[in-house]
Structure 1
Amino acid sequence: MAFYSIGDVAERCGINPVTLRAWQRRYELLKPKRTEGGHRQFDEEDIQRIEEIKRWIESGVSVGKVKALLEQSDVNLQDGWESRQEEMMAVLRQARPAKLRAIITELDRKHSVDAVIDQIIFPVRQRLILDVSTAQSMSSLFDGALIDYASSCLAASRKKAGRNTLLMSWGNGDRTRLWLEAWRLSRGSWHVDVLSEPLEHPRPELFPGQHIFLWTGNAHTQEQQEQMAHWKAQGYDVAFHAG
């Protein structure tokens, strides 16, 4: 499981770190883990919860009332995610591409991109890997549909106001995950171009003047953090994508 710093989460979710600390300390909305040095560590579940808190507040609910609403909806939401996972698995076993595309579109219309990816797509992809009765072609069918849909979302986002960025995979060979993270970024007002091949040694100098997100899919190693600091010191507009 990947963990992210409060700075990574603040950038990804568009929330000031001071606000995140207040949600934890004053309102008890968040319960991040801590490193031995006392630094907060957030996982994907924490990030999903932050997005849900944002939705409640943006709908007009005061932050002091959000905790009760979250607790009330936790059980129902989990049951709902599991039923949608089962529906997706059934369509995959029937090998029905058109129905698969329709389900992905429907989920995207009804839920946030983070919820769709983290609560439905990730668990289904994991089940396909672990299910020995599932042919490899079913996994390929699912990944193909996901990449196709993510690509269409990237194209649609370019018709709206936003900032250009390049998304690169740093040492992670899961190409489908890379496109899912591009989809996630596109909903944050980014116009995303994807370097489809994973890179062991990214070279920001080949893309002067361009903003770059680097995705690793795992906790960042000390070497990666030092390399990132070096690039920034040289003036490159680079950042980790915490997806």
Structure 2
Amino acid sequence: MTLYSIGDVAERCGINPVTLRAWQRRYGLLKPQRTEGGHRQFDDEDIQRIEEIKRWIESGVPVGKVKALLEGDSVNAHDGWMTLQEEVMSVLRYVRPARLRTKIAALGREHPVDALIDHVFVPVRQRLGMDQNTAKAMCSLLDGALIDYVAFCLTSARKKAGKDALIIGWGVEDRTRIWLEAWRLSQAGWRMDVLAEPLENPRPELFPGQQIFVWTGKKLTRRQMEQFAHWQEQGFSLALHGQS
């Protein structure tokens, strides 16, 4: 029987080791074996279970309800992501930065990063993206806490083996989203740096030899497509991030 370390499983399943530990300790979703030194070891059945947990969570089931579903119990798991969005909104209404940071860190430990970005943080920011001054203030508070947490995660990721890369926002105004996308890329093994200020005219020649991810948040214009093709012809290591 093949056994895998938590690092191997994290890379294979695309789940942060911190999240795997939270699923075990807090929710009892996993029961890995232990070496004599106390290190977790997972077998193929554990990996299948992790993939099943991921599918439930990504479909919107709150992590706290997954164990019952895995055991075949009947659970009302509808609109799980909406529940988490409301929890974040509720914390924001108290305007307590420390409490908000704690909530974001807890979500980051318990949920896959891709799903958390797409189903919680982006929708909440969209809901707050209104003209009312209160909503703008709450969105600004959330953005600051998100960038703070993501920067911490990126720093931790850079201490591990991986490939170095830089992400640049091109023709966009959403600075926070650039950080969220850097966090997403870090889960795929990239040690990310962020050019925090979006650019109207990126200059890849300023970063010779670096792998660069370009984020636009939307379909490229014809001018952008031509410019991007020109950069590639010049031999720069560029990739469009988030483009289908």
TM-score relative to the length of structure 2: 0.67
Other-structure match for 2:98: 98
Structure with the greater alpha carbon radius of gyration: 2
Paired residues of 2:154 and 2:191 also in contact (CA < 8 A): yes
Other-structure match for 2:193: 193
Other-structure match for 1:141: 141
Paired residues of 2:92 and 2:138 also in contact (CA < 8 A): yes
For residues 60 and 242 of structure 2, the distance between their equivalents in structure 1, rounded to whole angstroms, comes to 24
Other-structure match for 1:178: 178
Q: Where does 1:45-124 land on structure 2 (aligned, <5 Å)?
A: 59-60=47-48, 79-124=79-124
Matched to 1:242, the amino acid is G
Paired residues of 2:163 and 2:191 also in contact (CA < 8 A): yes
1:143 to 1:84, Cα distance in 2 relative to 1, 3 A: same
Percent identity for Structure 1 against Structure 2: 56
Paired residues of 2:60 and 2:80 also in contact (CA < 8 A): no
Paired residues of 1:228 and 1:239 also in contact (CA < 8 A): no
For residues 206 and 132 of structure 1, the distance between their equivalents in structure 2, rounded to whole angstroms, comes to 40
1:123 Cα offset (Å): 1.1
1:189 to 1:77, Cα distance in 2 relative to 1, 3 A: farther
Matched to 2:155, the amino acid is A
Other-structure match for 1:224: 224
Other-structure match for 1:150: 150
For residues 87 and 131 of structure 1, the distance between their equivalents in structure 2, rounded to whole angstroms, comes to 22
Aligned residues: 182
For residues 78 and 220 of structure 2, the distance between their equivalents in structure 1, rounded to whole angstroms, comes to 29
Matched to 2:94, the amino acid is Q
Structure 1 gap ranges (5+): 1-13, 15-56
Paired residues of 2:130 and 2:136 also in contact (CA < 8 A): no
Q: Report SS of the residue matched to 1:91.
A: helix
TM-score relative to the length of structure 1: 0.68
Structure 2 gap ranges (5+): 1-13, 15-44, 62-75
Other-structure match for 1:215: 215
Provide the alpha-carbon RMSD of the alignment.
2.6
Other-structure match for 2:163: 163
Other-structure match for 1:206: 206
Matched to 1:213, the amino acid is F
